[in-house]
Amino acid sequence: MAWQLLLPFFTGALLGFVSHGAGEDSALKERGRWAEATVVAVKNENSNKTAQCTLRKPHGQAIEPDLKEGHGCEDGIERGDALRVRYDPEGVADPEDESWKPESYGGLIAGLATVFVGFGVWGSVRMSRQGRE
């Protein structure tokens, strides 16, 4: 019976993860700005942790939060390098490098939500049948 809880749990967790990414993409698409930025520091560049680049615009304003590995802070990026990034002026969404293209998560979110609800209905029907037997 415990395995019946695992499928909805993992589906719900995946749904939350995908929805978070969709929200960040939507924020960058709606209010994001392109900027030339300079890398002023690279954290965790020689460790197993995710590398993070601290960025500043040419006039000195910081871009928050830091640019992460996989979003533009890749191996070979060093202090002083210039990058073109799309950032959220409100600092809510993570910045992305110039290769960023907004993705459509609608189909994936709808599919995961359908599976999640389907597991709930299936579990309810099974519990109802067990109660009658």
**CB 25: neighbour CB atoms within 10 A?**
19
Q: Name the β-bridge partners of 61.
A: none
| Residue 38 predicted with pLDDT over 80 | yes
pLDDT in tens, 56-71: 999 989 999 999 988 8
Rg of the chain over Cα atoms, rounded to whole angstroms, equals: 21
DSSP secondary structure code for residue 51 in this structure: P
Select the more confidently predicted residue: 76 or 16.
Answer: 16
pLDDT score at 82: 93
pLDDT score at 40: 95
| Residue 128 predicted with pLDDT over 70 | no
pLDDT in tens, 77-87: 889 999 999 99
Q: Say whether pTM exceeds 0.85.
A: no
User: What are the structure tokens assigned to 4, written together?
Assistant: 């019946």
